[in-house]
Copies of this chain bind each other. A is one copy, B any other.
Amino acid sequence: MSLENTNVNKSFGGWTKHYAHRSTTLNCDMRFAIHLPPQTANGQKVPVIYWLSGLTCTDENFMQKGGAQRMAAALGIAIVAPDTSPRGTDVADDDSYDLGKGAGFYVNATQAPWNRHYHMYDYVLNELPQLIETTFPVSDKRSIFGHSMGGHGALVMALRNPERFQSVSAFSPIANPVDCPWGQKALTAYLGKDTAAWADYDASILMRKADVLVPALVDQGEADEFLEDQLKPEALEAAAKASGYPLKLNRRDGYDHSYYFIASYIEDHLLFHAGHLNL
């Protein structure tokens, strides 16, 4: 399959587009969304922020519910939202919502049966940006953000590859996956029982030893049902304190884990990234 434009919706003077393509990294057909702001209509190259979604999401949720297009137009930023796992009838899956399809956790799986397709880390870091930057009117300036599992993914991507991203932010990230049920289940399945292999995918462990520092913003709702058991922002705060990492972490009274929270603060996140993208 070559790159196929499956849908386009005009939005705030720009275009929210969905594409299907064959991923060589994931060994399956994939979908992604890209929002191009109105500035691109004249061939202007704009920077890209990659959005990584949370458990059960697809390439659609953020574009429909995130409310980012308004500020994307004001600032001149493109946003790319990949799917959350490999897809297809021959792709390994699990009955639970937090493993398998919709739950790729942005890792490179090493364990069967997952290692045949589940290489979301390489897909998001390499294949997708190469495709985006050779296809669309975008520059090679990148930032990255995400929600929950995708907040974990965004932080890990930026912490391990500081030369690739100008800034990173997250809503309600799984901040310390080696120490929570969601993370332990997924990392065991994808990486095996040896926890030494997990450390490369834990934002709190990575932030504690970071030396090249990508500016980071995190927003966390205080009424988030997953806050205590799964998200553990205190681990990230402790890591930042230990390494002097430039992390700004806001706790927001009354907000939960939903897209209503994301939409309420998306403007802050886009302005944060715009500042670091020199817009």
Task: Give residues in A with beta carbon < 8 Å to B.
Answer: 9-13, 16, 64-65, 67, 69-70, 221, 223, 254-256, 258-261, 263-264
Q: Which residues of B contact A260 (CB under 8 A)?
A: 9-11, 16, 69
User: In the bound complex, how far is the Cα of B252 from the Cα of A12, in angstroms?
Assistant: 11
A220 to chain B, nearest CB (A): 13
| Distance between Cα atoms of A256 and B258 in the complex (Å) | 27
B255 near A223 with CB under 8 A, answer no
Nearest B residue to A11 via CB reads B260
Chain B nearest CB, measured from A17 CB (Å): 11
Interface pairs A-B: 3 shortest CB-CB: A9-B260, A11-B260, A10-B254
Whole-angstrom distance between the Cβ of A266 and the nearest chain B Cβ:
10
Output the residue of A9, A64, A221 with the most chain B CB within 10 A: A9
What are some 12 contacts across the A-B interface (CB < 8 A)? A9-B260, A9-B261, A10-B221, A10-B223, A10-B260, A10-B261, A11-B260, A11-B263, A11-B264, A12-B264, A16-B260, A67-B70
- Smallest Cβ-Cβ distance to A8: which chain B residue: B256
B12 engages A64 (CB within 8 Å): no
Contacts of A16 in B (CB 8 A): 260
